[in-house]
Amino acid sequence: MKKFLLSLLGCAALSGVCGDFFALPADKGKDLPADKVYPKGRIFPIMTYSGKNPAKYKEDGFTVIGPVYGKVDREKVYSNTTLPIIYSIRATQDGKVADKNFIRRSGIKMNYKKLAQSVREDVKEAIKKYPHIAYFYLTPEELRWWKTKEYNFIKVVTDAAHEADPEKRPVWMYLPGHYGQNSIAKYADRMDVIGKGCYTNYASRKNQRAWVRYSVDIMKNAAAQGNEADMVLAVLEMFRKVDPAELHRIPDWVRHDFYAALISGVKGLAIFSLSNRTGFTQAHKMYYPAYSKAAKEITGKNGLGEIFLFGEHRNDLKWTVTSGDATTPLTFRGDPKKNRPDRVVQYPSVGFANIAHARGRYLFMVNSAEKPVAGIVSGMPENTVVKDAVTGEKITVAGKDGIKLEFKSLEVKLLKLERN
């Protein structure tokens, strides 16, 4: 808990950003093209797993098509969109696709030279056919670091893709949501992007949604241990069947998880998945518009994406809880057979990102608790005008002690702080 409290203390002690509260940094993304996806450009990546309708997705705020797999015709999808795409690499050896069965079959000897050559050829052809590739996606997914053949395969594919691509576009592979920090760190020398499932309901974290923030934290810590990965993204949930009595909760779940990942520091989001599978129709009707609403706030005209990508995090504001729980627990089950007790990690109930960008001062706050929480944000100059960062609507004006805020369960507040 001490660590979290310190992170909110004044600028003089920690950040070195003192003087005028409203002094703004230079735009760190100004030299990147506006029509390319981060990290090659300024567009915030919000990816669409297994979707079939790229024209609609573009209209609804999503910025990257893919990964595409399963029964979806990827060639048809890739060829019918101007949006950037994620191209799934398919390595082959002697005409056989290197899928999981191939890689894991004990009787097959991996010829890494042939596999690497097939990847180089695949990537070169893909670039010619689809100049709008933003990322390369390593398949098959979920290759295990503790299996030598699988772990070596990851490096072979990533290196070969980089060799064949003049732009050195990022390569990534989905990692399972249950992986801990030590396991995730094994991939930080293998791929450019660390992205794991941050599924809350599926991971039995429906009522412990700080799981998203925890997941991003361990991914960031893991990425920092390697020499390759320099981007973290969260794969968010849109597939778990929902009890009809809880369908009304979906918009709050989506909004919480979406912004909890963003305030924690991800540079991209992927939604698994936009496909409307059997038995999911009613939930899909609730999930899709909720994700679309948030996506538009991030990627639309004057959206917040560049604030999260290029903003400077500051430490000159403090959040003090006045009612409700100051922390929210994450429980990790122990193993009685191994005499290992449950472990409880406490997260601040309200997490936030205090960001200065060339466009202004922003405060993004997310309540991960199931119950209401109220408190005071202090540290801003008196008479600071607080507006809704999306609509521009005036919310309040700071007094000498700051501003008082009340949060409903899982509520998100997107605020812009302006000089009066």
| Whether residue 329 sits in one domain with residue 279 | no
Q: Residue 56 gets which letter from DSSP?
A: H
CA dist., res. 141 & res. 145, Å (int)? 12
| Whether residue 366 sits in one domain with residue 226 | no
User: Does residue 176 have a cis peptide bond before it, meaning omega lies within 30 degrees of 0?
Assistant: no
| Whether residue 41 sits in one domain with residue 9 | no
| Whether residue 185 sits in one domain with residue 45 | yes
| Residue entry with tokens 């706030």 | 297
| Whether residue 203 sits in one domain with residue 349 | no
CA dist., res. 102 & res. 96, Å (int)? 8
Task: Give pLDDT, residue 74.
Answer: 86
| Whether residue 195 sits in one domain with residue 106 | yes
Provide the token pair at 325: 């729980």
CA dist., res. 383 & res. 380, Å (int)? 9
| Whether residue 267 sits in one domain with residue 375 | no
How many C-beta atoms lie closer than 10 Å to residue 38's C-beta? 24
| Residue entry with tokens 């808990």 | 1
Among candidate residues 277, 310, 343, the one where a domain is terminated: 310
CA dist., res. 114 & res. 91, Å (int)? 9
Residue 31 buriedness (CB in 10 A; 0-12 / 13-18 / 19+): exposed
Task: Give pLDDT, residue 19.
Answer: 62
What CATH code is carried by the domain that includes residue 226?
A: 3.20.20.80
CA dist., res. 319 & res. 333, Å (int)? 30
Task: Quickly count helices (H) and strands (E) in the chain.
Answer: 12, 21
Task: Report the DSSP beta bridge partners of residue 9.
Answer: none
The letter for the amino acid at 236 is: L
Among candidate residues 310, 344, 379, the one where a domain is terminated: 310
154 backbone φψ class: left, alpha, beta (φ>0; ψ -120 to 50): alpha
Residue 394 buriedness (CB in 10 A; 0-12 / 13-18 / 19+): exposed
From first to last of its 420 residues, the chain has per-residue pLDDT tens of 223 333 343 343 333 344 699 999 999 999 999 999 999 999 999 999 988 889 999 999 999 999 998 778 888 888 889 899 999 999 999 999 999 999 999 888 999 999 999 999 999 999 999 999 999 999 999 999 999 999 999 999 999 999 999 999 999 999 999 999 999 999 999 999 999 999 999 999 999 999 999 999 999 999 999 999 999 999 999 999 999 999 999 999 999 999 999 999 999 999 999 988 889 999 999 999 999 999 999 999 889 999 999 999 999 999 999 999 999 999 999 888 888 889 999 999 999 999 999 999 999 999 999 999 999 999 999 999 999 999 999 999 999 999 999 999 999 999 999 999
| Whether residue 69 sits in one domain with residue 156 | yes
Q: Do 315 and 15 meet the contact criterion of CB atoms below 8 Å apart?
A: yes
CA 193 vs. chain centroid, Å, equals 11
| Whether residue 209 sits in one domain with residue 168 | yes
CA dist., res. 288 & res. 238, Å (int)? 8
| Whether residue 19 sits in one domain with residue 104 | no
Q: How many domains does the chain have?
A: 2
How many C-beta atoms lie closer than 10 Å to residue 52's C-beta? 17
Among candidate residues 278, 295, 310, the one where a domain is terminated: 310
DSSP states along 183-202: HHHTTTTT-SEEEEE--STT
Range of the domain at 319: 2-13+15-23+312-418
- The residue ranges of DSSP E strands in 244-393, in sequence order, are 269-272, 312-313, 318-323, 327-332, 343-348, 350-357, 360-367, 373-378, 385-388
Task: Give pLDDT, residue 328.
Answer: 98
| Whether residue 261 sits in one domain with residue 332 | no
Q: Do 133 and 169 meet the contact criterion of CB atoms below 8 Å apart?
A: yes
Q: Residue 167 gets which letter from DSSP?
A: T
Triad 259, 215, 375: Cα angle to 5°: 50
Pairing of strands 92-93, 96-97: antiparallel
What CATH code is carried by the domain that includes residue 359?
A: 2.60.40.1180
CA dist., res. 8 & res. 326, Å (int)? 14
Contacts from 5-11 at CB under 8 Å and sequence distance 24+?
A: 7/315, 8/315, 8/317, 8/318, 8/319, 9/315, 9/318, 10/315, 10/316, 10/318, 10/379, 11/314, 11/315, 11/316
| Whether residue 366 sits in one domain with residue 261 | no
